[in-house]
Structure 1
C-alpha cells in the first residue's frame, strides 16, 4: 500500500474505523435502508421489494436476470422477491417471446401505484439525507462514488 492511503486503513496499531472510508459508506447505506424501511413498513414493503419495484418502474418488462444486475442481488434471491411481489399482486411475469427460458417481469396497476408511493417516501428521505449540502456537493459525491465503483469493478 502506498503511503498516501495508509491513514485511511485501520491497523491493529492505530485502529480507528472512522478513518476508513468504507465504514462511512456502509453506515450511510444502513441508515438509509432503516429510514426507508421504517417509512414503507405501513405498506408492507421492505427494502428488497422496494428495490425490485423501483427497478421495474425504471425498466419496464425487465428480465429477472436484468433485475438481478440492477439491484445487485443473486438471481435466486431476485427470483424469490419477484414471486413474493407476484403473490402480493404488484408484478406479473411472462415468458419472453424470443426465448422462453427468459422470464420477464412488469408492474401491475397496484405495482405502479406502490412504486409512486415509494418514490414519494424516497424523496422525503433523500431531502433529509442531503440537507445542508448543495446540489454541486451531491454531484461531486456521486462522481467520487462512481470512480470508486469503477475501481472496484476492475
Structure 2
C-alpha cells in the first residue's frame, strides 16, 4: 500500500475532525451543533426547503435529519408545514429565533474561519481550493 497516500488521507481526516471540534467550540454558547448550524445556513439561503432537499444538501440519512429537525423545532429554531402543492412533502423553514441565532452564530463563524484558515497566503488558498475541487469531482 502506498504510505504517502495513506498519510495524506490521515492528515485530511485529522484536519477535518479538528475543524469540526473547533467549530463546535466556537458556537457552543449558542447551544447548536455545527450540523444544526449547517441546516440553519441552508435554510437561510434557500428559504422554505423540503425535507428531501435538505437531506440531499446536508448529505445525511433521512432518520438523522428527521430527528435533528424535530429537536430544532422543539427548540424554536425551525418550523415545518405541508407543501400546499404536495401534501406528502414537508417544508422546513427558519423561525425568527432561528434567524436571530444565524445572525449571532455567523459572527462566531467568521471568527472561526479567520482563526482556522488564515495560515494560507491567497495563492496557497487558491491552490488548495483547486486541488480539493479536482479531488471532489474525481471521487463523486
Q: Which residue number in structure 1 is paired with residue 108 of structure 2?
A: 121
Task: Verify: 1:45 aligned to 2:41, yes or no.
Answer: no
Q: What is the total number of aligned residue pairs between the two structures?
A: 140
Normalised by the size of structure 1, how large is the TM-score?
A: 0.83
Name stretches of at least 5 consecutive residues in structure 2 with no aligned partner: none
In structure 1, distance between residues paired with 2:39 and 2:138: 26
Q: Which residue number in structure 2 is paired with residue 84 of structure 1?
A: 71
Name stretches of at least 5 consecutive residues in structure 1 with no aligned partner: 11-19
- Secondary structure at the aligned position of 2:85 is classed as coil
> Normalized per residue, which structure has more helix?
2
1:84-122 CA distance string (max 9 Å, x none)? 110000101011122111111110111011111221111
Is the 2:30–2:105 Cα contact (8 Å) retained in structure 1? no
Q: Which has the higher contact order (CA 8 A, sep 6+)?
A: 2
Normalised by the size of structure 2, how large is the TM-score?
A: 0.90
Q: Which residue number in structure 2 is paired with residue 145 of structure 1?
A: 132
Q: Which residue number in structure 2 is paired with residue 15 of structure 1?
A: none
1:48-75 CA distance string (max 9 Å, x none)? 2112111211221111111112111111
CA RMSD of the aligned region, Å?
A: 1.6
Q: Which residue number in structure 2 is paired with residue 16 of structure 1?
A: none
In structure 1, distance between residues paired with 2:134 and 2:26: 31
- TM superposition outliers: structure 1 runs of 4+ over 6 Å: none
1:28 corresponds to which of 15, 24, 29: 15
